[in-house]
Structure 1
Amino acid sequence: MPMSYAEYLATRHFHGLTGVRALAAVAVVFFHYGGPALGPLQGWIAVHLFFVLSGFLITTLSLREEDRSGRVSLRAFWVRRVFRIMPVYYTVLALTAVFVVIGGQYWSSRLGDAMPLYLVFGNELVDYNTPLGMSWTLGVEEKFYFVWPALLVLTALAKSRKLWLRTGICVLSVAAVVFVVLPLTNGEGMGKLAAHYVSLVIGCLLALLMHHPKGFALVRPLMRPVVAVPVALGFCVFQLFVGDLVPLVGGIPWFTPIYALVSSLLLVAVVAPGPVQRLLACRPLKYIGDRSYGLYLSQVMAAAVTGVIAPPGWGKAIATAAVALGIACVLYRWVEMPMITRGRQLAAKLPQASPVKARTAASEVVSVPAGSNRPKHSRPR
């Protein structure tokens, strides 16, 4: 039997999603340093799998907090995000700057030109190559997560918790920014970035859908092992043919929402217990997934170490991923986890709303204990 709605709300850890993060991070590294030999893996688009996953997890956490305490604490959310994202990011930024300065390439690498934007998370506005070019994704995410939780709060205050009304308000608000405000800020360059926000929105919408009993019933069939396995295998085939499909739909901006929708189907198949989840929750993938943020950010530093391995191919890609994982382990032990813990401690000290009775599905007579419906899955990047 597939997972029930009550079991979904009570799930504290989405085991397989950590493995998805691991595969996405490694795919990006392989794309950057694998050359033509690894081109068929289409790792360049794996960042959108990150976006969908991140939107899903953040929104799920927020909705469950709302059910548990009656509201979403924006201050607590932002405190946790600051301590989750910024310490590792600024550590990598500082180390990169030091190494580039020592090498006498601070300006020639254009890191010096980009530094003012990098310091304020304007990474996606940098339209030239730098040693931290991959960090554009952080600029996209941080702006989105400054706005999205606030939209959830506003729609709750407006008494619009009905799925269709709340979703409509959120989607229209985000669409106004993505398709009207964003393109006007910097012309064509910003217009192309709209596709990245669409991926985040799709992940958020999936969370809204699954948090509602009727919405959960729509996707529940995908959680059956007999369906989840073909969905996962189908996603793998789809990934291999991305390069052929992009031109058929008119280019990357038009293909990105399609990829995000297919990725959302994969997440549904991974959330439920079964062979797909067990495979993606195995120890090696969990280990890499827990450190995927540091691995992603440190890939350029790792490539500087493996630069003697040429030309790009399987050897260089694997070596770079391994060195990046080593750097990520250090960051995870000495920066990431201590700062995440500190952020949670500070967030817990903020004024909290009085707990409310957990929401009960209209079609079920099962109540979920208030303390059991917050997932402890690893935080998205």
Structure 2
Amino acid sequence: MRTITHAEFLALKRFPALDGMRAIAAVMVVFFHFAGPNWKWLNGWIGVHLFFVLSGFLITTLALREESRAGKLSLRDFYLRRAFRILPVYYAVLLVVVAFLWLRGEFTAYRLPDLLPYYLTFTNEWAMPGQIYGQSWTLGVEQKFYLVWPALMFTVGAFTLKRRLPMTIGLMVLAVFGHFSGISGLSAAAYFMILLGCLLALVMHSPGAFAVVRPFTHPLAALPVLVVAALVQTNIAEIDAVFGGSGGLIPVALYGVAIALLVTSTLGGGPVRWLLSVRPMAFVGERSYSLYLVQEIACFAVIYTIPRLSTPRLAAAVVITLVALVMADLLYRWVELPMIDLGRALITRPHARKTAPAAAVRQPELTTTSAGGLPGPP
């Protein structure tokens, strides 16, 4: 076992351990909501912050690689991919929530006339907390990140990597200021975690900066990093008290750094990567977005079917998670994958039309064969 090189990192097509991390994050959030006070020590709410770090890392990594491959990032293609990945299943679940409460005559009781303008426009983080479909506040944060980040980092002033790194750090400082000043509360911590993932992607894309984190790509580094992340997660309040009460930002930031290092340490194999990549983890991780969205619908289904599970406790959380996973699987197969494919088709079709004339012009050259009988270079 050894560390990986920068070239080996750039050659990676997938990061399989991230599926396991998504799976754990989604299940933690469900347990936080439905497992009851005996499981509060798990601090499952931090699962959404794990999602934020992974989102920042993946989105920025994909954008950087497209820029390296094509010379620039296509904002049109980026926004199409994000729209067809995020919007269809989000609105499908929202429609089910609205229809269910309307048919039960509880549309007004759950304050949906006030909440729908926020939910429909992805300003969810500004809606009243603790309401039905309230977990969607994270989507409001991420949608704004998707809108602003690529346009800011890949078009404005044609930023080089050397400029992007300090700019990202500067934005993280602004998020910290926003948190402690009370300007944006919970959203500031969320943006800090997303930017932390972006910073990791920028560091790993740069050959020079990659050398700093390369020691953490050793497969044996993942286990101690995982232990640190677990200790921070289960001792959030105590760590926050040590730092004089930061409103949770400092321990959450420490947790985010541990997650960033965990992502790094699972690139080169090892037992932790294997554990996070096994098929059950991948299955849940692939469906984690829908699982996160349908948890309240699953809760209603379980409570109305098995009333004794209406009290939050471990049994309720387990059953709700399983029911939500079945619903998520249906959404993944019938909504997510077809819409992702449709988005890809809309992206590739114009490119195919543009490249077809050029291919026709080069066709005579492609018929030239090399000594081995294969087409020669055009």
**TM interval, short-chain normalised:** 0.7 to 0.9
In the other structure, the counterpart of 2:271 is: 275
Q: CA deviation at 1:57?
A: 0.3
Deviation per CA, 1:302-342, whole angstroms, max 9, x where unpaired? 01122221431110111111111011011001100000111
Choose 1 or 2 for highest CA Rg: 2
In the other structure, the counterpart of 2:165 is: 167
Moved over 4 A (4+): 173-176, 350-354
Q: CA deviation at 1:188?
A: 4.1
Deviation per CA, 1:332-375, whole angstroms, max 9, x where unpaired? 01100000111111122345999xxxxxxxxxxxxxxxxxxxxx
Counterparts of 1:191 and 1:293 in 2: how far apart (Å)? 24
> CA 1:350 to 1:148, structure 2 compared with 1: closer, same or farther past 3 Å?
farther
In the other structure, the counterpart of 1:136 is: 137
Which of 197, 200, 221 is 1:203 aligned to?
Answer: 197
> CA 1:218 to 1:284, structure 2 compared with 1: closer, same or farther past 3 Å?
same
Given that 2:93 and 2:294 are in contact with CA atoms closer than 8 Å, whether structure 1 keeps it comes out as yes
Q: Which amino acid aligns with 1:261?
A: V
Given that 2:57 and 2:199 are in contact with CA atoms closer than 8 Å, whether structure 1 keeps it comes out as yes
Given that 2:226 and 2:258 are in contact with CA atoms closer than 8 Å, whether structure 1 keeps it comes out as no
In the other structure, the counterpart of 1:61 is: 62
Given that 2:219 and 2:266 are in contact with CA atoms closer than 8 Å, whether structure 1 keeps it comes out as no
Q: Name the % identity.
A: 43
Q: CA deviation at 1:211?
A: 0.5
Deviation per CA, 1:242-280, whole angstroms, max 9, x where unpaired? 232233331223433222222211211223222111110
Alignment of 1:1-381 (within 5 A): 1-154=2-155, 157-158=157-158, 160-163=159-162, 165-172=163-170, 178=175, 188=182, 190-249=184-243, 250=245, 251-307=247-303, 308=307, 309-350=309-350
Q: CA deviation at 1:179?
A: 6.7
SS in 1 for 2:155: helix
TM-score normalised over the length of structure 2: 0.86
Deviation per CA, 1:62-87, whole angstroms, max 9, x where unpaired? 00000000000111000000000000
> Greater relative contact order: 1 or 2 (C-alpha under 8 angstroms, separation 6 or more)?
1
Deviation per CA, 1:139-187, whole angstroms, max 9, x where unpaired? 00000111111122135x53x4243x221234435755x478x78xxx9
> CA 1:226 to 1:27, structure 2 compared with 1: closer, same or farther past 3 Å?
same
Given that 1:22 and 1:292 are in contact with CA atoms closer than 8 Å, whether structure 2 keeps it comes out as yes
SS in 2 for 1:127: coil
Counterparts of 2:142 and 2:72 in 1: how far apart (Å)? 23
Counterparts of 2:328 and 2:337 in 1: how far apart (Å)? 11
Deviation per CA, 1:184-215, whole angstroms, max 9, x where unpaired? xxx94624421110000000000000001111
Q: CA deviation at 1:112?
A: 2.0
Given that 1:71 and 1:153 are in contact with CA atoms closer than 8 Å, whether structure 2 keeps it comes out as yes
Q: Which amino acid aligns with 1:35?
A: G
Counterparts of 2:265 and 2:72 in 1: how far apart (Å)? 29
TM-score normalised over the length of structure 1: 0.86
Given that 2:66 and 2:72 are in contact with CA atoms closer than 8 Å, whether structure 1 keeps it comes out as yes
More deviation, 54-63/144-153: 144-153
Deviation per CA, 1:262-300, whole angstroms, max 9, x where unpaired? 221121122322211111000100000000000000000
Q: Which amino acid aligns with 2:227?
A: L
Q: Which amino acid aligns with 1:25?
A: A
Counterparts of 1:306 and 1:190 in 2: how far apart (Å)? 35
Counterparts of 1:56 and 1:223 in 2: how far apart (Å)? 16
Counterparts of 1:232 and 1:188 in 2: how far apart (Å)? 31
Q: CA deviation at 1:232?
A: 1.7
Given that 2:165 and 2:199 are in contact with CA atoms closer than 8 Å, whether structure 1 keeps it comes out as yes
Deviation per CA, 1:32-54, whole angstroms, max 9, x where unpaired? 00011211111011110100011
Counterparts of 1:189 and 1:128 in 2: how far apart (Å)? 16
Counterparts of 1:240 and 1:191 in 2: how far apart (Å)? 22
In the other structure, the counterpart of 2:376 is: none
Residue-pair matches, total:
346
SS in 2 for 1:304: helix
Counterparts of 1:153 and 1:310 in 2: how far apart (Å)? 49
